[in-house]
């Protein structure tokens, strides 16, 4: 598919390059180690969804970011280098979710056989307290936890990328940040989806920022418009030149703290200085002869993925077949039971004791699913208490596989679309609203009628529970499949279904990504089905007694599969601007 705004190539004219040369000479010099404006034209790009590559492959939410990742691989960088450069690029070209003001998780498989996870989840500021989102009547106020300065957790992205690079990167750091710097300084043309999304957020941007910001202009955005982010470019230059300290100390840190003080947020210079990305042991388990490597708490994703896959595996689901009423019902019932456990037990492992071995015990999971009754739903009220909030698709996932066999599967986020909507004044980047992922009032229904548990209550420096589930599947100790998606609570069920679709039902990679998904999260006791979900299957589930609700897109799944050593398939989700790239 060709970008429909190639016409704006002319805007990236000699004038722009002249100005860049005169005013940004140092950038221009460094840009020699950047492909932007050379091999990558930010004004003429296409959206390749399904590709075959022979050496390395990158899939992400934006074609320019995927192209940056492939360029890094071609320069001799490894998958970790490429994943770092892609995340910096997404912070520019996909501002709804790509970020330096948020956080995430990176699952890494190294060619030497080692698996590891970098946790760069945001954490609560030191002055946070369990009641900070309750109003005078004691009820949670989601306006406060979702918008503006109070909703912001101390960002983790730059620390995470820095630690990953220090431990496992190969190319110079500057080379990984420079493409993003160029994209921010010189601009790129935006897609129809991005234009729509910026227009939708306009009134929120105006409500939560008193200074002009790059995301708001006098007229409505349209496909092909140029988005230039000069303040973000300056921030990226500081990160490029000073590494982690370019964000957590000095000018950027000052600008964050000043913005917090102006808008009554909590993040202090001390919070920024003490933030650390944490390297953690992945959750690993065998499934169908494959080795699944995925994310541990403070994401719920890995624990729940293992629970759900283990539960369905007590039944001959592969024989029941893809999208059959029975296999779909079994998966729904596994989802229901796992989400009930999540609400009760999961939180930041550095703050609460999580009974992981019990939750993952095969006998426990066997008992848990043993009351599965074909054609009869188990009412959620018969399982356990706890609920999860509805969330939309504004996180983002990326996968990178390099020619040496290193693999990275990373999901990072601002939480909601454009996070808190608050831009750091003078620094040009959006801050997350991740504080909403805590349970604002454990045990009590919030404004959406949803509850959480004390395991995920707010505490200073605690990390809020996540659903992000970046995952790598190994076959004979080699990367076979990389996947992940945004989608809040639906992330885990989407990854679960993608794996079952491929490992049990043998769907093509394209279909596993793009076919309609379904989601049950225990409470409310509803099966959400994505538009396009087969009517016959909906009717079969309704006849069994399931309550079905149709909803828009579920997730934006990215996938890489290596079929043989030199045969790599990359699939970007058709639901968004996602794109695969490779060589
Ligand atoms: O960490 C989490 O689970 C959420 N903050 C993710 C949010 C999300 O996926 C929103 N949109 N896709």
What does the pLDDT look like over 202-228, one tens digit per residue? 999 999 999 999 999 999 999 999 999
Q: Render pLDDT for 485-527 as a digit per residue (tens, 0 to 9).
A: 999 989 999 999 999 999 999 999 999 999 999 999 988 899 9
Indicate the helix (H) or strand (E) that contains 478: strand 478-484
C-beta of 467 in contact with ligand 1 (< 6 A): yes
The answer to whether the CB of 469 is under 6 A from ligand 1 is no
The finding on whether 391 has its CB within 6 A of some atom of ligand 1 is yes
Predicted confidence at residue 199, as pLDDT, reads 98
Q: Is the pLDDT of residue 528 over 60?
A: yes
Predicted confidence (pLDDT) at residue 551 exceeds the cutoff of 50 = yes
* Phi, psi for residue 31 in degrees, rounded to 5: -65, -10
> pLDDT category, 559, cuts 50, 70, 90?
very high
Q: 487: CA distance to ligand 1 center in Å? A: 6
Distance 172 CA to ligand 1 centre (A): 31
State the pLDDT confidence band at 84, using cuts at 50, 70 and 90.
very high
- pLDDT tens-digit map of 275-321: 999 999 999 999 999 999 999 999 999 999 999 999 999 999 999 99
Q: End-to-end CA distance of the chain, in Å?
A: 18
pLDDT in tens, 170-181: 999 999 999 999
Report field, pTM of the whole predicted structure over 0.85: yes
**pLDDT score for 384:** 63
Instruction: Output the residue whose Cα is nearest ligand 1's atom 5.
Output: 415
Q: Render pLDDT for 375-403 as a digit per residue (tens, 0 to 9).
A: 999 998 888 633 334 445 679 999 999 99
What's the 400 CA to ligand 1 centre distance in angstroms? Answer: 21
How far, in Å, from the CA of 264 to the mean position of ligand 1? 24
Choose the residue to mutate in 303, 413, 418, 436 for probing ligand 1, maximizing ligand atoms within 8 Å of C-beta: 413
Given this model, what pLDDT does residue 450 score? Answer: 38
- Alpha carbon distance 17, 280 (integer Å): 44
- Which long-range contacts does 369-372 make (Cβ < 8 Å, 24+ apart)? 369/311, 369/312, 369/314, 369/333, 369/334, 369/337, 370/314, 372/315, 372/330, 372/333
Question: Which atom from ligand 1 is nearest to the alpha carbon of 487?
Answer: 12
Q: Count of CB atoms within 10 A of residue 442's CB? A: 18
Domain range summary for the chain, segments of one domain joined by +: 67-279+394-456, 283-393+476-565
Q: Which band of pLDDT confidence, cut at 50, 70 and 90, is reported for residue 28? A: very low
Q: String of b and e for 460-480 (b: at least 16 CB within 10 Å)?
A: ebbbbbbbbbbbbbbeeeebb
| Ligand 1 closest atom vs CA 392 | 11
Predicted local distance difference test score (pLDDT) of residue 50: 98
Answer yes or no: is pLDDT of 574 > 70: yes
β partners of residue 109: 115, 407
Closest C-alpha to 79, from 397, 406, 403:
406
Residue 451 pLDDT class (50, 70, 90 cuts): low
Output the CA angle 279-299-155, nearest 5 degrees.
65
- pLDDT for the residue 173: 98
Residue in the structure block whose two tokens are 């058709």: 574
Positions marked catalytic: 395
What is the distance in A from the centroid of ligand 1 to the CA of 292?
A: 22
Average pLDDT over residues 100-124: 98
Ligand 1 center from residue 152 Cα (angstroms): 14
Count the Cβ atoms, other than its own, within 10 Å of residue 75: 16
- Give the three-class secondary structure for 43: coil
pLDDT of residue 524: 87
* Mean pLDDT over each residue of the chain, to the nearest integer: 91
Atom of ligand 1 nearest to the CA of 464: 1
Q: Whose CA is nearest to atom 2 of ligand 1?
A: 466
- Counting beta carbons within 10 angstroms of the beta carbon of residue 516, is it exposed (0 to 12), middle (13 to 18) or buried (19 or more)? middle
Our answer on whether the CB atom of 488 is closer than 6 Å to any ligand 1 atom is yes
Q: Which atom of ligand 1 is nearest to the CA of 434?
A: 5
Ligand 1 in reach of 413 Cβ (< 6 A)? yes
pLDDT at 108: 98
Percent helix / strand / coil, the chain, rounded to 5: 40, 20, 45
Among 301, 316, 284, 283, residue whose Cα is nearest residue 500: 316
Pocket probe for ligand 1: among 103, 410, 415, the residue whose CB has the most ligand atoms within 8 Å is 415
DSSP secondary structure letters along 488-500 = TTHHHHHHHHHHH
List the residue whose alpha carbon is closest to atom 9 of ligand 1: 488
**pLDDT value at residue 523:** 85
> Would you tell me how many other CB atoms lie within 10 Å of the CB of residue 304?
28
């300290």: which residue's tokens?
Answer: 245
Per-residue pLDDT of 37-53, as tens digits, reads: 999 999 999 999 999 99
pLDDT tier at 344 (50, 70, 90 boundaries)?
confident
Ligand 1 atom at minimal distance to the Cα of residue 396: 12
CATH number of 283-393+476-565: 1.10.246.130
């Amino acid at each position: 598919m060709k970008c429909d705004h190639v016409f704006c190539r002319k805007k990236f004219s000699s004038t722009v390059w002249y100005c860049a040369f005169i005013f940004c000479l140092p950038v221009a010099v460094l840009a020699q180690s950047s492909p932007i404006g050379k091999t990558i034209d930010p004004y003429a790009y296409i959206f390749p969804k399904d590709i075959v590559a022979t050496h390395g492959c990158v899939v992400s939410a934006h074609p320019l970011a995927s192209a940056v990742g492939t360029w890094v691989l071609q320069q001799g960088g490894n998958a970790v280098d490429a994943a770092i450069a892609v995340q910096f690029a997404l912070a520019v070209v996909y501002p709804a979710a790509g970020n330096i003001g948020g956080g995430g998780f990176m699952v890494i498989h190294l060619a030497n056989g080692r698996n590891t996870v970098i946790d760069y989840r945001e954490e609560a500021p030191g002055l946070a307290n369990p009641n900070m989102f309750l109003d005078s009547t004691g009820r949670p106020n989601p306006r406060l936890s979702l918008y503006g300065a109070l909703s912001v957790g101390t960002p983790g992205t730059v620390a995470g990328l820095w630690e990953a690079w220090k431990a496992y990167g190969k190319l110079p750091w500057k080379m990984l940040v420079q493409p993003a710097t160029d994209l921010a300084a010189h601009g790129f043309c935006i897609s129809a989806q991005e234009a729509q999304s910026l227009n939708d957020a306009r009134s929120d941007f105006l409500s939560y920022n008193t200074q002009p910001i790059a995301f708001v202009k006098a007229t409505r955005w349209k496909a092909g418009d140029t988005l230039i982010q000069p303040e973000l470019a300056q921030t990226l230059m500081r990160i490029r030149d000073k590494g982690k300290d370019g964000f957590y100390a000095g000018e950027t840190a000052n600008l964050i703290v000043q913005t917090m003080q102006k808008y009554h947020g909590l993040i202090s210079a001390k919070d920024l200085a003490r933030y650390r990305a944490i390297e953690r042991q992945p959750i690993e388990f065998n499934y169908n002869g494959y080795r699944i490597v995925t994310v541990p708490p403070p994401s719920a994703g890995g624990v729940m993925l293992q629970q759900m896959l283990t539960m369905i595996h007590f039944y001959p689901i592969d024989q029941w077949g893809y999208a059959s009423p029975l296999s779909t019902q079994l998966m729904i019932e596994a989802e229901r039971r796992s989400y009930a456990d999540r609400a009760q037990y999961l939180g930041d492992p550095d703050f609460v004791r999580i009974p992981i071995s019990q939750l993952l015990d095969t006998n426990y999971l066997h008992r848990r699913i043993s009351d599965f009754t074909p054609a009869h739903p188990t009412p959620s009220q018969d399982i356990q208490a706890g609920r999860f909030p509805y969330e939309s698709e504004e996180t983002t996932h990326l996968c990178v596989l390099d020619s040496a066999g290193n693999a990275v599967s990373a999901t990072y986020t601002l939480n909601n679309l454009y996070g808190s909507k608050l831009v750091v004044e003078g620094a040009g980047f959006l801050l997350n609203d991740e504080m909403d992922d805590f349970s604002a009032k454990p045990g009590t229904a919030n404004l959406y009628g949803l509850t959480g548990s004390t395991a995920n209550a707010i505490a200073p420096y605690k990390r809020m529970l996540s659903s992000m589930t970046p995952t790598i599947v190994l076959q004979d100790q080699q990367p076979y499949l990389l996947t992940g998606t945004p989608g809040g609570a639906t992330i885990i069920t989407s990854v679960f279904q993608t794996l079952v679709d491929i490992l049990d039902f043998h769907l093509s990679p394209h279909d596993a990504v793009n076919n309609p998904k379904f989601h049950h999260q225990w409470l409310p006791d509803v099966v959400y089905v994505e538009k396009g979900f087969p009517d016959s299957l909906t009717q079969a589930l309704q006849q069994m007694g399931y309550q079905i609700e149709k909803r828009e897109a579920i997730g934006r799944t990215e996938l890489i599969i290596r079929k043989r050593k030199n045969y790599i398939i990359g699939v970007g989700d058709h639901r968004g601007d996602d794109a695969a790239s490779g060589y």
